[in-house]
């Protein structure tokens, strides 16, 4: 074999720097079961990055305990202490940027974000929404689906844009509604699916596979349909196993 173009001992002691872990900041307002799913995925090396901070607008959010128990910086930024939505979002931007995130994740964060905030992080902010978007944007999605008597419901991971729950959808999972379902039972079924698809979507983003390109979500460079990819329960379980095997 011909001699290399460098003194052969150049790389003798070369130790590549470990790739910087991609950094995730998670915003919450409540229980944090989706945050816990992300923490658990990280613990199994299935997240593709590190949750470096959790920020809540509610001081009594149980998700703050989940963060602290996992050794993650947990910050309370109460929106009621600010005179306007714009002032709050300005303070929130500063707290977030101190952690230098690659991705901001809204995991049950119950504040409508201003255009200034959204555009500061456009393309690197994902939300989990408890419906099959574009159906049931906004709040009280389970009660509305039950009231309408629809047979199918579910959850969506989408990029956050100025339009409330209107951003390009990356990933969805469906659940069947039965006549016996209550708001509580339906919420439990939907959240079980949320806990599967949210870590997968976050991991795909951090791996650089899922992106926002213009007005479309793309996967490996291919634009996704308006309702994103639909992941069955079996697919999601297999994907997680594959994440373990990778
Ligand atoms: N500009 C955007 N902001 C937010 C988005 C978004 O897509 N664009 N997603 C939401 C998450 N969300 C549903 O998934 C949501 C959260 C909160 C509300 C809402 O009406 N909030 C009220 C307060 C409600 C409360 O405190 O219980 C408000 O902010 O006045 C609707 C949808 C996150 N933000
Ligand atoms: N419109 C926003 C919204 O309703 N988000 C929903 O809040 C719940 C938070 O649960 P968690 O705190 O246990 O993750 C989740 O089910 C999420 O889809």
User: Looking at residue 243, what is its pLDDT?
Assistant: 47
Four-way CATH pick for 130-155+169-246: 3.40.50.720, 3.40.50.1820, 1.20.1740.10, 3.40.50.170 = 3.40.50.170
Q: Is the CB of 119 under 6 A from ligand 1?
A: no
How many residues are listed for the chain in this entry? 246
Ligand nearest to the CA of 158: 1
Type and span of the H or E element at 170: strand 169-176
Fold of 21-121: Rossmann fold (3.40.50)
- Name the residue with the closest Cα to ligand 1, atom 26: 110
Residues of the chain under the 50 pLDDT cut: 1, 243-246
How far, in Å, CA of 97 to CA of 117, rounded?
12
Q: How many CA atoms lie within 13 A of 78 on its CB side?
A: 4
pLDDT score of 15: 58
pLDDT computed for residue 241 by the predictor? 65
Is 34 annotated in a binding site? The answer is yes
User: How do the domains of the chain map onto residue ranges?
Assistant: 21-121, 130-155+169-246
Q: What is the DSSP string of 32-95?
A: -HHHHHHHHHHHTT-SSSEEEEEEESSTT-HHHHHHHHTT-EEEE--GGGSSSHHHHHHHHHHH
Q: Which residue from 28, 29, 32, 34 has its CB within 8 A of the most atoms of ligand 2, so it is best to mutate?
A: 34
Q: What is the pLDDT of residue 87?
A: 98
The DSSP bridge pattern shows strands 23-28 and 50-56 to be parallel
Determine the distance separating the centroid of ligand 2 and the alpha carbon of 97, expressed in angstroms: 24
**Residue 8 class from Cβ within 10 Å (0-12 exposed, 13-18 middle, 19+ buried)?**
exposed
Q: Tell me, using a 6 A CB cutoff, whether residue 88 lines ligand 1.
A: no
pLDDT at position 244? 39
Residue 16 is predicted with a pLDDT of 60
Grouping H, G, I as helix, E, B as strand and the rest as coil, residue 190 is helix
Q: Is 154 in the pocket of ligand 2 (CB under 6 A)?
A: no
Q: Are both 21-121 and 130-155+169-246 of the same fold?
A: yes
Kindly report the number of other CB atoms within 10 A of residue 120's CB atom.
18
Ligand with an atom nearest the CA of residue 120: 1
Q: Quick one: which atom of ligand 2 is closest to the CA of 36? A: 14
Q: Whose CA is nearest to atom 21 of ligand 1?
A: 111
Please tell me if the CB atom of residue 162 comes closer than 6 angstroms to any atom of ligand 1: yes
In a 13 Å sphere around the CA of 104, the CA atoms on its Cβ side amount to: 27
Provide the pLDDT for residue 21. Answer: 87
Give me ligand 2 centre to Cα 155, in Å: 10
Q: Can you tell me the distance from the alpha carbon of 123 to that of 218, in angstroms, rounded to the nearest whole number? A: 11
CA 83 to chain centroid: 28
* Distance from the first to the final alpha carbon of the chain: 33
Catalytic residue numbers?
129
Tokens 């991609």, located at residue: 22
The response to whether residue 113 sits with its C-beta less than 6 Å from ligand 1 reads yes
What are the residues whose beta carbons fall under 8 Å from the beta carbon of 26, sequence distance 6 or more?
35, 38, 51, 53, 54, 55, 67, 104, 105, 107
- 29 near 3, Cβ under 8 Å? no
Distances (CA, A) of 142 to 45, 62, 117: 32, 22, 28
């Amino acid at each position: 074999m011909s001699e290399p173009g460098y003194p052969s001992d150049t790389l003798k002691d070369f130790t590549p720097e470990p790739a910087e872990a991609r950094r995730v900041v998670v915003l919450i307002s409540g229980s944090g079961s989706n945050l816990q799913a992300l923490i658990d995925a990280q613990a199994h090396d299935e997240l593709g990055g590190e949750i470096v901070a959790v920020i809540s607008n509610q001081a009594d959010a149980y998700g703050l305990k989940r963060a602290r128990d996992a050794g993650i910086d947990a910050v309370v930024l109460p929106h009621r202490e600010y005179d306007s939505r714009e002032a709050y979002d300005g303070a929130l931007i500063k707290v977030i940027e101190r952690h230098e995130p690659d991705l901001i994740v809204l995991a049950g964060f119950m504040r409508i974000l201003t255009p200034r905030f959204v555009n500061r992080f456009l393309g690197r902010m994902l939300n989990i929404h408890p419906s099959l978007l574009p159906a049931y944007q906004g709040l009280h999605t389970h009660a509305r689906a039950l009231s309408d008597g629809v047979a199918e419901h579910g959850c969506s991971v989408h990029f956050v844009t100025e339009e409330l729950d209107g951003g390009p959808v990356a990933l969805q999972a469906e659940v069947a509604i039965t006549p016996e379902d209550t708001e509580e039972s339906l919420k439990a079924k939907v959240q079980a699916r949320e806990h599967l698809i949210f870590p997968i979507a976050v991991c795909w983003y951090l791996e650089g596979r899922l992106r926002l390109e213009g007005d479309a979500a793309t996967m490996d460079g291919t634009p996704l349909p308006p309702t994103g990819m639909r992941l069955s329960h079996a697919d999601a379980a297999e994907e997680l196993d594959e994440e373990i095997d990778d």
